[in-house]
Amino acid sequence: MPISINVLAVAILVILFLVTGVRVLREYERGVIFRLGRVSRALVGGNGPGLIILFPLVDKMVKVSLRTVAMDVPSQDVITRDNVTVKVNAIIYFRVIDSPRAILQVEDYLYATSQIAQTTLRSVLGQSQLDDILSKRDEINVALQRIIDQQTEPWGVKVSAVEIKNVDLPQEMIRAIARQAEAERERRSKIIHAEGEFQAAQKLSEAADIISRNPTTLQLRFLQTLRELASEKTSMVVLPLPLDLLTPFLKHRSDKAAE
């Protein structure tokens, strides 16, 4: 009987050891082991993942995921440099590259990264004008990524990208932008029309210059006009009278007026 009790006790101890002392880390996980409250080793590189043996009541392991986290930055009220109030939200992509620092240097690296992202978003956009926020979003994204990454680097967290998702404008600002866009389209239309008139005037000037150097061209144009009029179904025909025919009469009249 005593032998069977000893065997049972050993079996129970073995089962407890396996339950409390054996851990399995997945490929994307790393563990930070605390032995009596002090960091014993960080399972990074060749030490993980896989089967991990812990000493019950002595060791405690904290798992850290190395996968990229996509975190939404809540909508922030931002006053731009030109005094326009907008609501802006974003998304931030980051991952842990140093698991011991992510556990030791900050209490909750997910919460801390979220707070840094919110404050940085308000700060950077508050120094930008509304037109820059709408048209230079890529440059602002790069600036946000660089600043947030500098803040999270001591925690072993690498920020890979920050993207502004939505910029909500007040209704009066939306109407003002619509009027501005309409005025811009009208301006471009007038410029294009003026450029067309200018090019047409240039071509007419060149044509007049060619006709003046070769009077036969004017006669050919006259015959072409008659042909076009003949093809129309109309009872009235307008014949242009060359000014050369009237020149002698005009000259004679001017001579008599001079006398």
pLDDT > 70: what percent of the chain? 70
> pLDDT tens digit string along 184-207?
778 888 888 888 888 888 887 777
CATH of domain 69-173: 3.30.479.30
Instruction: Give SS3 for 69.
Output: strand
Maximum Cα–Cα distance for the chain, whole Å?
161
Q: What is the pLDDT of residue 158?
A: 94
Is residue 257 packed enough to be buried (19+ CB in 10 Å), middle (13-18) or exposed (0-12)? exposed
| Mean pLDDT lowest among 41-45, 77-81, 86-90, 188-192 | 41-45
The residue that leads in pLDDT, 179 or 237, is 179
Domain boundaries, the chain: 2-65, 69-173
Pairing of strands 38-43, 69-79: unpaired
Please tell me which residue, 238 or 46, carries the higher pLDDT value.
238
Q: Where are the alpha helices (DSSP H) in 73-214?
A: 99-104, 109-126, 130-135, 137-152, 171-213
Residue, of 22 and 70, whose pLDDT is higher? 70
- Predicted local distance difference test score (pLDDT) of residue 149: 93
Top mean-pLDDT range of 24-33, 149-158, 207-216? 149-158
pLDDT band, very low/low/confident/very high, at 46 (cuts 50, 70, 90): very low
Name the strand (E) or helix (H) holding 3: helix 2-21
**Structural tokens at position 93:** 């992509």
Mean per-residue pLDDT, 5-18: 66
